Amino acid sequence: MAGGPTMSSVSASVQDFDSITAYLSWEHGRLSRLLEDVGRFVGDADWPPALAAYGEFEMGLERHMRDEEDVLFPLFEARSGIVDGPTGVLRADLRHVRGCLVLMRAALQAQDPAAFESGRSFLGAMLPEHHAQEEHVLYPTTDRLLAPAERRAVVTRLVRR
C-alpha cells in the first residue's frame, strides 16, 4: 500500500510500504500514539498499564532510533557525500531523547505524574521539528538517492529488524 497502513495498525509488513519515507513516517505516528496511551494511563493514575505501555513505546522508539543510526544515517551519508550535516544534528537530538526516556521511565516507576509530563512535554517540544527534518528532508532525499530495488531492500531491512 503506498504511503503505509491505516492509522489503526500497530504492526506492519514489508508490503505495506513503498519508500523509506512512508515506513519511518508511519513509525513516527505509531510511536506518538503509544506515548499518548501512556499519558492517558498516567492521567488516570493507572500505573501498571502505564509502565507496560511505556515499555512498548520505549522499545519501539529505541528500535526506530537504532534503525536511523545504524542503517539510514550511514546510507544517507555514503550516498549524498554529506557527513555530519543533517545527520549530525539528528544524532544529537537522539542523545537528548535517550536521556529523556531514562527520566520518563524513572518517573513512571516512582509514580510521579508531574515528572513524567515534564519528559513528555520535552519530547512534545523537540520531536515535531526533528520529525519534520527527517520526513521532509532526510527520508525523501535518501529515497531519491536509491534505485527502486535498493529502496525496497532498505525498507525490507527496516521493517524486519
Q: Which sequence spans correspond to the domains of the chain?
A: 28-141
Q: Are 71 and 154 in contact (CB under 8 A)?
A: yes
Q: Greater confidence, 16 or 56?
A: 56
Instruction: Kindly state the DSSP code that residue 15 receives in the 8-state scheme.
Output: G
pLDDT interval class at 16 (50, 70, 90):
confident
pLDDT above 50 (res 8):
no
Helices (H), the chain: 20-43, 47-67, 73-80, 86-109, 113-133, 139-145, 148-160
Quick check: 110 pLDDT over 60? Answer: yes
The DSSP output letter for 10 is S
Q: How confident is the model at residue 13 (pLDDT cuts 50, 70, 90)?
A: low
Whole-model pTM: value is: 0.88
DSSP three-state, residue 34: helix
35-66 in b/e form (b: 16+ CB < 10 A) is bebbbebbeeeeeeebbebbeebbebbeebbe
